[in-house]
Amino acid sequence: MKLVGTYLSPFSRRVAATLISRGISYTHEDVNGYLSPEKARALNPVGKVPVLILDDGEALIDSGAILDHLNEVCRPEQALIPPSGRTRRAVLRASAIATTIYEQSTARYFEERRPGDSVLPELIERYRQQTIGGLKALEEASRPAGPIAAGNLNLATISAVVAVDYVRITHADLDPARLAPALSSIAADLAEKPPFARTRPPGA
């Protein structure tokens, strides 16, 4: 199979980290949907990455849908998400918070680069506060017995570690180690493991 998408995209990166963590071989085509919109639209009608092209040619779009497929084909002991109950909800909640951090961090990045006096400081502050709130929520999920743990590469842990690195790239004024020390410690413990070392984007 082939993964299309830049590792600078946290959505692409969490798919790649999942593939590596589950020992699923893939080839990688580094496509940035912002820099190569025509190429992205050829694979996804809305021009976004990641896209996972299966061996039979089917193209899966959206990281959530791709990860749902990977969870379906993994062996039970490699499941990304618990099958039911409170633990399942906890993993999905943490993953949802992590992806919201991705979205708001990206929004801030582009808002800050609008030309001239068209930048809206109140909007940047809103994105900043949403990111801070997300990091604090992931910090709580990183406590003992929480869904995020260095020894448990489930969907929550993978998504949260990617979020920490993405905040470092997009929020120069935020320090994840101060805002979320337990989460940052988990991210540091996993930083040189293949799922994260092999997918680390510049600046992370």
User: What architecture (CATH level 2) is domain 85-192?
Assistant: Up-down Bundle (1.20)
pLDDT digit string, tens, across residues 22-77 = 999 999 999 999 889 999 999 999 999 999 999 999 999 999 999 999 999 999 99
Model's pTM, two decimal places? 0.96
- Give the per-residue SS3 of the chain: CEEECCCCCHHHHHHHHHHHHCCCCCEEECCCCCCCHHHHHHHCCCCCCCEEECCCCCEEECHHHHHHHHHHHCCHHHCCCCCCHHHHHHHHHHHHHHHHHHHHHHHHHHHCCCCHHHCCHHHHHHHHHHHHHHHHHHHHHCCCCCCCECCECCHHHHHHHHHHHHHHHHCCCCCHHHHCHHHHHHHHHHCCCHHHHCCCCCCC
CATH of domain 2-75: 3.40.30.10
Over residues 66-115, the pLDDT tens digits come to 999 999 999 999 999 999 999 999 999 999 999 999 999 999 999 999 99
Q: Name the residue ranges covered by the structural domains of the chain.
A: 2-75, 85-192
